[in-house]
Structure 1
């Protein structure tokens, strides 16, 4: 099975490559210069020429704060680019999996968000990702849109890597304690994505396998709790650690507002696709160990 994946350097794309190693899945990682989500016509032609069995659109403009000053670029990549990927999938007659985000919600709810809850993004990034969801759904009926949250991994820039870097520089780290969500391993997301692709290919007539689904780790945490868990595991493995000073969001202003409640209800994914991701604490330890090993290997 050949799966074309946009966004070669992203956490989920790299995780897909790792998870598919030695399996029957062939992951075709694509990024500039092969594809450019701001050049939709060329993008479509490249994807169609590859003739994959499925497409995963993991490429995105993810600079949440910078998006506030670059709304056109965010829309070009996250909405118009996603639409082009979906059109290619439709022309090929293959399923597309679109990665999306908890930022499509305003975070004011008092329970985990379900797929049919009203959306209301707080910033440009969330608006562009929501537009991408709608564009994909319109362009390619054979789609699964997977909303995830707080992605971390041994690859690229993410919260865990940032915390370990800060712990090497200081004894205390101030971290927001009034935003809650589900830290989710990119490697676990990759496992879930591959499972969804298999389901879409195996049961093309099942409409319930198509649509929007929430895919996050089990369990929840605040950013401060996530940092504390990361430092505890790092310290136990002989790595850097720091004391977490919990602070409210008001003490850490950013250009883009974040949802206070990023919890997503994943029961639909479990019921329909039979997929549940592990608890975030279970997946955090191997990530920490791998990051520490990478640091030890550096000259």
Structure 2
């Protein structure tokens, strides 16, 4: 199958490339080859390549920077997905698009379901929600997969930052009142491949929005503790961790306190579920050895 993957160096894209490069004609277009803000070029690329599946793993993910550059965030996170949806519908092929827990404000006391009312707190969340809405407005075959707290062994993420700081410092404060599910990019990629296989074998084809995170929940502080425990198991000395409130760690963009997403619809409709976040962390760390 000819697959067009947008995004080249991102965490999820890297993992998808590992899994999809065997057995498929995978065409990867990164920022160097295609600027998603150039909509005419984006349309031309899809029409020229005639893919049988489009996966959009590209996004403006700098949450704080988005507050000062909303036009760039909306061009990549909102306008481009709408264009991809239009071109996918014209070709009658599926579009897989990744979204985020940031479409919610985090005020709900329990896990969010797909039909809960979005209410993003900042530019990043608003731009990602606008992208969802643009895709949904086109219709056609599409999967919008909302995930959260993505990390891997590449790029800039919480895992790599914590591994460094825990070994550099004696004391380290980490936010303890934001709750969610740390989700390894490798788990996202593997579950995406499962979705593709189910679609190809006609096992199911219920298109729409799905929550797509690791199972379980923790705070950023709990995630940091798990990372520290793994470093200690390797005989390394780590900083003493101190839990703090979000208010003690101000950032340009507000973060949702509750990022828990209920993924039961994904399992019911597609028979796919991601592993528990503890297991995902171990798989990620073992993949480096």
- Give the TM interval when normalised to the shorter protein: over 0.9
Match of 2:219 among 213, 218, 222: 222
Post-superposition offset of 1:275: 0.3
Distance, in Å, in 2 between the alignment partners of 1:288 and 1:198 is 26
* Superimposed CA distance per residue, residues 92-124 of structure 1 (whole angstroms, 9 cap, x where no aligned partner): 211001100000001000111000001100000
Q: Secondary structure at the match of 2:46?
A: helix
The answer as to 2:84 corresponding to 1:62 is no
Q: Secondary structure at the match of 2:107?
A: coil
Tell me what 2:6 maps to.
6
How well do the aligned residues superpose, as a CA RMSD in angstroms?
A: 1.6
Distance, in Å, in 2 between the alignment partners of 1:82 and 1:38 is 10
Post-superposition offset of 1:240: 5.6
Preserved CA contact (<8 Å) 1:95 1:201: no
Distance, in Å, in 1 between the alignment partners of 2:140 and 2:237 is 48
Post-superposition offset of 1:213: 0.3
The answer as to 2:228 corresponding to 1:231 is yes
Tell me what 1:148 maps to.
147
Once the two structures are superposed, the pairs formed by residues 67-216 of structure 1 within 5 Å of their partners are 67-203=66-202, 209-216=206-213
Tell me what 2:19 maps to.
19
Preserved CA contact (<8 Å) 1:4 1:52: yes
Preserved CA contact (<8 Å) 2:92 2:140: no
Question: Gaps spanning 5+ residues in structure 2: where?
Answer: none
Tell me what 2:260 maps to.
263
- TM-score normalized by the length of structure 1: 0.92
Once the two structures are superposed, the pairs formed by residues 278-297 of structure 1 within 5 Å of their partners are 278-290=275-287
* Superimposed CA distance per residue, residues 118-148 of structure 1 (whole angstroms, 9 cap, x where no aligned partner): 1100000000000000111222411010000
Q: Secondary structure at the match of 1:134?
A: helix
Post-superposition offset of 1:288: 2.8
Distance 1:289 1:198, change over 3 A: closer
How many aligned positions are there? Answer: 289
Post-superposition offset of 1:9: 0.7
Bigger Cα displacement from structure 2, 266-275 vs 280-289: 280-289
Q: Secondary structure at the match of 1:287?
A: helix
Preserved CA contact (<8 Å) 1:99 1:146: yes
Tell me what 1:241 maps to.
238
Distance 1:238 1:52, change over 3 A: farther
Tell me what 1:50 maps to.
49
- TM-score normalized by the length of structure 2: 0.95
Bigger Cα displacement from structure 2, 258-267 vs 278-287: 278-287
Question: Gaps spanning 5+ residues in structure 1: where?
Answer: 294-299
Tell me what 1:254 maps to.
251
Preserved CA contact (<8 Å) 2:54 2:93: yes
Post-superposition offset of 1:290: 4.5
Distance, in Å, in 1 between the alignment partners of 2:238 and 2:52 is 45
Distance, in Å, in 1 between the alignment partners of 2:242 and 2:158 is 16
Preserved CA contact (<8 Å) 1:61 1:78: yes
